[in-house]
Amino acid sequence: MIGDSYVLLASGILAFGKGVQEQNIEEKVKRWHENIRNIAFFLILAGTQTAEIEGISSAGSTPISRRYTAIADAELLLRGPLFSKRWPLPPLPAGVSPALISYVASDFLKIQPTIISAGLRQRPSFEHIFLESSEIGPARCLSSGNAMDISRVQLLFDGGFKIGKKLKQSLLITECVPGGTTTAFAVLSGLGINVDGLISGSHRNPPSELKKKLVNQGLKAAKLDQYASSIDLMAAVGDPFQPIAVGLLMGARESGQDILLGGGCQMLAVLALVLNEVEPELRSNIVEKVIIGTTSWLVDESLSSSKQRNSFIHLMNNVAKHFKVNILGLASSYRFNDSNQKVLRDYEIGYVKEGVGAGALSLLAQIKGLTQKEMIRKCDREVANLLKSKDEKTIEGI
């Protein structure tokens, strides 16, 4: 592997990251293949008022519609496109919810998530775990420098840790948090990691300057110590997803489990927050069983036309360099160029890219043998089902 590039494994999977040539990738892929039916699969839903800033996210075309994104995506993943919806999908500028891809992959794998919910404005109508009162609501906008009370962050972390520590299976963590790439930007910046121009999002052209402005406001207002703990940092500029995921990861590592973090910069932020809390000599041991699982669209993305570098790979390498560890990333190689559905072909021109575990679940589906042709056929069919579903509505006028 050279620079920001990636290597293509015999299975078609993309492997990338600092030190990837030194790792026994095929052995790690084999372990996941053998354990696919024995995975503790969690989807964490969370809300932050950061998502309600105009223009910050396209995971819902309007600030108010983004309040419903997480719960609607989870319902689609759990029940599929034809099921009568309690929470209709918010309108998107282009593309279709990545929860549809996640549904296709998880249906093929015959696995379903355990839902953990924190900070939503609605109580889910499906089975879920609450680690705090459902009345608390979303985190405050990170620009305040006081996104969550310390006690809330500690409670969510402790809840995640207890779940992770009891696991007897490999762990897959996924998320749906509108505005989450901006809170990831904030905590990574607060850790002193160079992320400028490297953080993606659901937009075709992510609003980097807006994100940067909010993050700078939040970190300035927080007045954090140079050596602030991860708890303090999440309380200042984070979101409820982060402490739950950090706790889950740390608990699962204590119980010796393999861990797949399904997503992009939000999962890198979680891993960085964990590494920030452990002694330097223990960090390599932490990452040895951790893989970042994402989509080929995110891996291919270049946010800087002048440098033409793979932004997410470069970001991951910056995190690895900061903590002096090697981080392994894997991505499925599925593409939608030959899809019959425009909303799927939109992924190929930069819309949506990742979310709701689409990358990690697609990765596992590819490991299990789902071909490119079959993936497209299944996704095309489910988009058609979504469009013809009689009670499929968008949240209009919001």
Between 179 and 395, whose confidence is greater? 179
**pLDDT, position 254:** 92
Positive or negative, the CA dihedral 288, 368, 362, 257 is: negative
CB 265 within 8 A of CB 181: yes
Full DSSP string of 24-86? -HHHHHHHHHHHTTSEEEEEEEE-BGGGGSTTS--SSSSTTGGGSHHHHHHHHHHH-TTSPPS
Residue 15, beta-bridge partner list: 7, 330
Rounded to an integer, what distance in angstroms lies between the CA atom of residue 166 and that of residue 40? 11
**pLDDT, position 85:** 79
Which residues, other chains included, contact 228 with Cβ-Cβ below 8 Å and sequence gap of 6+? 190, 236
CB 331 within 8 A of CB 16: yes
Rounded to an integer, what distance in angstroms lies between the CA atom of residue 202 and that of residue 277? 29
**pLDDT, position 334:** 96
CB 91 within 8 A of CB 204: no
Is residue 394 pLDDT above 50, yes or no? Answer: no
To the nearest whole percent, how much of the chain has pLDDT over 70? 93
Query: What would the two tokens of residue 396 be?
Result: 């209009």
Residue 153, classed as helix, strand or coil, is: helix
Where residue 206 falls among pLDDT bands split at 50, 70, 90? confident
Rounded to an integer, what distance in angstroms lies between the CA atom of residue 36 and that of residue 52? 37
* pLDDT (tens digit per residue) in 21-33: 656 888 899 999 9
Where residue 308 falls among pLDDT bands split at 50, 70, 90? low
Q: DSSP class of residue 113?
A: P
Four-way CATH pick for 7-388: 3.40.50.10210, 3.90.105.10, 3.90.1200.10, 3.40.50.1400:
3.40.50.10210
* pLDDT (tens digit per residue) in 229-272: 999 999 999 999 999 999 999 999 999 999 999 999 999 999 99
Using the CB atoms, write b or e for 270-299: b if 16+ within 10 Å.
bbbbbbbeeeeeebeebbebbbbbbbbbbb
Rounded to an integer, what distance in angstroms lies between the CA atom of residue 139 and that of residue 238? 8
